[in-house]
Amino acid sequence: MTEIEILLLFLATVAGAVTTSGLGWLDSGDPFNLRKFLPGLIRGIVAAIVVFIATYEGWIGEITLFTYLGAFIAGMAVDVVGNRLAGISGIGQNKPT
């Protein structure tokens, strides 16, 4: 695996998480709020590290378009699941005082 392939896997995974964060923001209709957008970016970076470790340790062989597509979908999945878990646990929610 070359450095370019590693970088492209990283970018594909982060792009997946940023895509779902962006779509969630567009669906909400609220003005853009960087504070709400940053957790999606962080989840994307964490997903990228996990995808890299799994890809590197499992050594899937030649990296193809499907590998990048899988990384993109993995980034989307980690962002969605992380967002749901944060919502269930109440992290980042404004609580009335």
Distances (CA, A) of 18 to 10, 27, 83, 94, 97: 12, 14, 12, 23, 32
Q: Is residue 97 part of a domain?
A: no
Q: Which domain covers residue 74, as residue numbers?
A: 3-86
Tens digits of residue pLDDT in 54-97: 776 676 677 888 888 988 998 888 888 888 888 888 776 665 55
Write down the pLDDT at residue 60: 64
Tens digits of residue pLDDT in 6-63: 888 889 888 888 898 888 888 888 888 888 788 888 888 888 888 777 776 676 677 8
Dist CA 30 CA 27 (whole Å): 8
**Using an 8 Å Cβ cutoff, are 80 and 21 in contact?**
no
Q: Is residue 32 part of a domain?
A: yes
Residue whose pair of structure tokens reads 């980690």 in the numeric block: 78
Q: Is residue 95 part of a domain?
A: no
Q: Is residue 91 part of a domain?
A: no
Helix (H/G/I), strand (E/B), else coil: 86: helix
The total domain count for the chain is 1
Write down the pLDDT at residue 40: 82
pTM of the model: 0.78
